[in-house]
Amino acid sequence: MLRKKIQVSASGGIHMAVAVALGQAVKGKDAHVFIKAGRKMVSVKEISKVLALGVHERDQVEVIVDSGEEEEALMERMERILCNQW
């Protein structure tokens, strides 16, 4: 399991396009990826809950990746999406 704190630099924070990209990055994979903002933690597969976190640009979130083989690659993908490098 990997955990990493990431400062969101995507313009506008986590909006629909970002939330969908996060969900699609894990679609079809045997992986559990969560975003924690404040006291709330949600799966990136649940787009409406990711949006409900209300994460703005420059907010810090913690990303938790639990996936047998692809943890580092998935964490890198999550970071690229949240930092608007996708």
Q: Are 62 and 2 in contact (CB under 8 A)?
A: no
Distance separating alpha carbons of residues 75 and 71, to the nearest angstrom: 6
The two three-digit tokens of residue 79, written as one number: 């970071």
What is the pLDDT tens value at each position of the chain, 86 positions in all? 999 999 999 999 999 999 999 999 999 888 999 999 999 999 999 999 999 999 999 999 999 999 877 899 999 999 999 998 87
pTM of the model: 0.92
Q: What is the pLDDT of residue 7?
A: 97
**What's the sign of the alpha-carbon dihedral 83, 18, 45, 38?**
positive
Residue-level pLDDT at 33: 97
d(CA 12, CA 32): 25
pLDDT for 64? 97
